[in-house]
Structure 1
Amino acid sequence: MTERAAAAHETDRHGPRLGEFVAMMAALMAVNALAIDSMLPALPAIGEALNVSEDNRRQLVITAYLVGFGGAQLLYGPISDRLGRKTILTVSLLFYGLFAIASGLATSFEMLLGARFVQGVSAAATRVLVVSIVRDRYSGSQMARLMSLVFIVFMIVPVLAPAFGQAVLAVASWRFIFIGLGVYCATVLAWALIRLPETHMPENRRPLSIRHIGDAIGTTLSHRLSIGNTIALTLVMGGLFGFINSIQQIVFDVFGRADLMAWVFAGIAGPMALSSWLNSRIVERIGSRRIMLWALGVFTSFAALHLAIVAFHGETLLAFVLLQSLTMASFGLISANLGAVAMEPLGHIAGTASSVQGMITTVGGSLVGLAIGQSFNGTTVPFLLGFTLCGLAALGIALWTNRPEETMPGSIIDLPE
Structure 2
Amino acid sequence: MHTKSPVRIEFLLLMAALQCLMALYVDTMLPSLHQIGSDLDALDNNRYQFVISSVMLGMGLGQFFYGPLADAWGRKPAVNLGFALMIIGTLISLFAQTFEVMLAGRVLQGLGAAGPRVICMAIVRDKHVGPDMARIMSLIMTIFIFSPVVAPMLGQLVLLFAGWRAIFGMLIVLSTATWIWFVLRQEETLDPANRAPLSFVPVLKAMRQVITTRVGLIYTLAAGLIHGSLIGFLLSIQGVLHGIYETGAMFPVYFAMMALGVGFSSFMNSKLVYRFDLRKLVMTVMAFSASVSLLEAFFVGVIGIEVSLFGFIAMMIVTTFCFGLLFGNLNALSMAPFGKIAGVASGTIGALTMMLGVLVGTFIGLSFDGTILPMLIGFGVASSLALLLVVLFSESRVKNASVAG
Q: With structure 1 as the length reference, what TM-score do the two structures score?
A: 0.85
Partner in structure 2 of residue 337 of structure 1: 329
Partner in structure 1 of residue 309 of structure 2: 317
Asked whether 1:412 is paired with 2:404, we answer no
Return the offset for 1:385.
Answer: 0.4
Q: 1:59 aligns with which of 29, 44, 49?
A: 49
Partner in structure 2 of residue 355 of structure 1: 347
Deviations 1:160-211 (A, max 9, x none): 2222111111111211101111122123223333454545555655443354
Deviations 1:67-97 (A, max 9, x none): 2221232122222233333321122113212
Of the structure 1 ranges 256-265 and 293-302, higher mean CA displacement relative to structure 2 is found in 293-302
Structure 2 CA distance, aligned partners of 1:213 and 1:307? 41
Asked whether 1:80 is paired with 2:70, we answer yes
Partner in structure 2 of residue 215 of structure 1: 205
SS of the residue 1:329 aligns to = helix
Structure 2 CA distance, aligned partners of 1:177 and 1:221? 39
Would you say the 8 A contact 2:28–2:154 is kept in 1? yes
Return the offset for 1:361.
Answer: 1.3
User: Aligned pair in 2 of structure 1 residues 97, 224: CA closer, same or farther (>3 Å)?
Assistant: same
Structure 2 CA distance, aligned partners of 1:347 and 1:129? 19
Q: 1:295 aligns with which of 275, 285, 296?
A: 285
Asked whether 1:156 is paired with 2:156, we answer no
Counterpart code for 1:73? Q
Structure 2 CA distance, aligned partners of 1:155 and 1:109? 31
User: Aligned pair in 2 of structure 1 residues 82, 398: CA closer, same or farther (>3 Å)?
Assistant: farther
Return the offset for 1:333.
Answer: 1.8
Asked whether 1:278 is paired with 2:268, we answer yes
Q: 2:117 aligns with which of 127, 135, 139?
A: 127
SS of the residue 1:74 aligns to = coil
Structure 2 CA distance, aligned partners of 1:72 and 1:212? 15
Structure 2 CA distance, aligned partners of 1:335 and 1:366? 15
Return the offset for 1:343.
Answer: 2.9
**1:181-220 equivalent positions in 2, closer than 5 A:** 181-201=171-191, 205-209=195-199, 211-220=201-210
Return the offset for 1:374.
Answer: 0.7
Return the offset for 1:233.
Answer: 1.0
Counterpart code for 1:106? A
Would you say the 8 A contact 2:65–2:200 is kept in 1? no
Structure 2 CA distance, aligned partners of 1:53 and 1:413? 44
Partner in structure 2 of residue 375 of structure 1: 367
Partner in structure 1 of residue 220 of structure 2: 230
Asked whether 1:243 is paired with 2:225, we answer no
SS of the residue 2:370 aligns to = coil
User: Aligned pair in 2 of structure 1 residues 150, 322: CA closer, same or farther (>3 Å)?
Assistant: same
Structure 2 CA distance, aligned partners of 1:26 and 1:35? 15
**Unmatched tracts of structure 2, length 5 or more:** none
Deviations 1:384-404 (A, max 9, x none): 101111111122333456534
Return the offset for 1:306.
Answer: 2.4
Structure 1 CA distance, aligned partners of 2:17 and 2:336? 24
Deviations 1:3-53 (A, max 9, x none): xx5xx52xx4xxx44x65554433222111111111111112212322334
SS of the residue 2:246 aligns to = coil
Would you say the 8 A contact 1:144–1:336 is kept in 2? no
Q: 2:35 aligns with which of 39, 45, 63?
A: 45
User: Aligned pair in 2 of structure 1 residues 238, 412: CA closer, same or farther (>3 Å)?
Assistant: same
Would you say the 8 A contact 2:215–2:395 is kept in 1? no
Structure 2 CA distance, aligned partners of 1:130 and 1:288? 26
Return the offset for 1:285.
Answer: 5.1
Partner in structure 2 of residue 403 of structure 1: 395
**1:139-154 equivalent positions in 2, closer than 5 A:** 147-154=137-144
Counterpart code for 1:56? N
User: Aligned pair in 2 of structure 1 residues 151, 212: CA closer, same or farther (>3 Å)?
Assistant: closer
Partner in structure 1 of residue 17 of structure 2: 27
**Unmatched tracts of structure 1, length 5 or more:** none
Structure 1 CA distance, aligned partners of 2:273 and 2:358? 28
Counterpart code for 1:227? L
Would you say the 8 A contact 2:156–2:249 is kept in 1? no
Would you say the 8 A contact 2:89–2:104 is kept in 1? no
Would you say the 8 A contact 2:66–2:78 is kept in 1? yes
User: Aligned pair in 2 of structure 1 residues 117, 296: CA closer, same or farther (>3 Å)?
Assistant: same
Would you say the 8 A contact 1:29–1:127 is kept in 2? yes
Query: How many corresponding residue pairs?
Result: 400
User: Aligned pair in 2 of structure 1 residues 379, 151: CA closer, same or farther (>3 Å)?
Assistant: same
Structure 2 CA distance, aligned partners of 1:50 and 1:211? 41
Would you say the 8 A contact 1:148–1:280 is kept in 2? no
Return the offset for 1:232.
Answer: 1.2
SS of the residue 1:173 aligns to = coil
